[in-house]
Structure 1
Amino acid sequence: MHTDLWNFALKLYARPGAEAACLQWQARGGDVCLLLCGVWLGARGIGANEQRVEQLKELAEAWQTEVVKPLRALRQSWRDEATKDAQLAVLREQVKGLELTAERILLERLETACKDWAATPEAEVDWIGWLAPEGAGAHHDALQRLRAVMLTTQDAEDGV
C-alpha cells in the first residue's frame, strides 16, 4: 500500500545511508524534497519525463528560495554561537522546527501537483537521474547510494 509523500519520506530518510546521501545531494546543489518526491514517484511506478520534472522543479524552486533556504541559512549561521548561548540554542531549535514544517509543506505541494499522474509499468522511473543537480555526474557516489536506498523503497512502503 502506498503512503502519502510525507510519511514515505520519513521512512525512507530513516533507512541506513539515506540521510548521508541526501546531505551529499544537498551539498552538491540538489533539492532533497524534490529528490524524495522523485523516489516516491518511482516507487509508485510513475514515469519521469521532461515536462513532469520541470513542473516539479519550478514548484520546488520557488518555495525553497523564498521559505526553506532563508530558514536554513539562519539556523546554520547560529550553529557556533548557539553552543555558547542557551537562549540562542532554543531559538535555533525553533527555527529548525520551522524549516522542517516548511519542507513538509513543500512535500505536500509536490504530492498535490502529481496526484493525478498514473503509473505506467514500462515508463522510465529513474527520477534520480532526471533530478540530479548540474555537474553531479551520473556515477557520483551520492547518486549511487541514493539508487541503492531507492531499491529498498518497496520495503519502506510495506513497512519492513
Structure 2
Amino acid sequence: MCADLWSFALSTYARAGVEDTCLRLQEQGADVCLLLCGLWLEQRGAVPEPERVRALRTIAEPWQVTVVEPLRKVRKQWRAMAQQDAGLGALREQVKALELEAERQLLLRLEALAQAWPTGGSATDQKWLEGLATEAANLDHGALHQLRAAATGT
C-alpha cells in the first residue's frame, strides 16, 4: 500500500475499471477525492467516526465548489471547440492540468487532517466509502464494491 494519499490515489485510479466507476459516481454527485481518501483510510485501518467524516467534508466541499468544479466546467465547455482550434486545445490542456493539481492539493489537505488518526484496525470493518459517498452514490452498491475491490486488489 502507498503511504501517502496522492500516490495511493494515482495507483488506485490507474487500475482497471476504477476511472469509469469514479466518473460514474462523480455524475451522481460523489466527490472522487473523498472516495479515494475513504479507500486510503480503509486500507490504513482508520476507524470512521462521524466527526472525522464531517471534518473531511468540511475541507473537501468548499474546495470542490470554489476551485475544482469551476476548472472542470471550463474544461468541459471547451471540449468541442478545442477539437477545431489547436490554440484553444492547448489552453484546455493547461486547464486540465490545473484541475488535476487542484485535486492533488485537496488530497494533500485531506491527508494532513487524517494523518494523525489512529490506524491498525481491520480494513474489512471500515465503511469510509459509505460515509463519504453521496446518497445517490450509496445506492450504487456495485460501484462502491468495485472501488473497494480495486483498492485491495481483490
Q: Could you state the TM-score of these two structures normalised by the residue count of structure 1?
A: 0.89
What is aligned with 2:19?
Answer: 19
Aligned 8 A contact 2:39 2:129 in 1: yes
Gaps of 5+ in 1: 154-160
Aligned 8 A contact 2:29 2:136 in 1: no
Aligned counterparts of 1:116 and 1:107: Cα–Cα separation in 2: 15
Aligned counterparts of 1:62 and 1:104: Cα–Cα separation in 2: 15
Where does 1:1-160 land on structure 2 (aligned, <5 Å)? 2-121=2-121, 124-152=125-153
Aligned counterparts of 1:64 and 1:49: Cα–Cα separation in 2: 22
Tell me the CA shift for residue 147 of structure 1. Answer: 2.5
Structure with more helix by fraction: 2
Identity of aligned residues (%): 51
Aligned 8 A contact 1:2 1:44 in 2: no
Aligned counterparts of 1:89 and 1:122: Cα–Cα separation in 2: 46
Aligned counterparts of 2:7 and 2:152: Cα–Cα separation in 1: 17
Q: How many residue pairs end up in the alignment?
A: 153
Gaps of 5+ in 2: none
- Report the RMSD for the aligned CA atoms in angstroms: 1.7
Secondary structure in structure 1 of the residue aligned to 2:84: coil
Tell me the CA shift for residue 2 of structure 1. Answer: 4.2
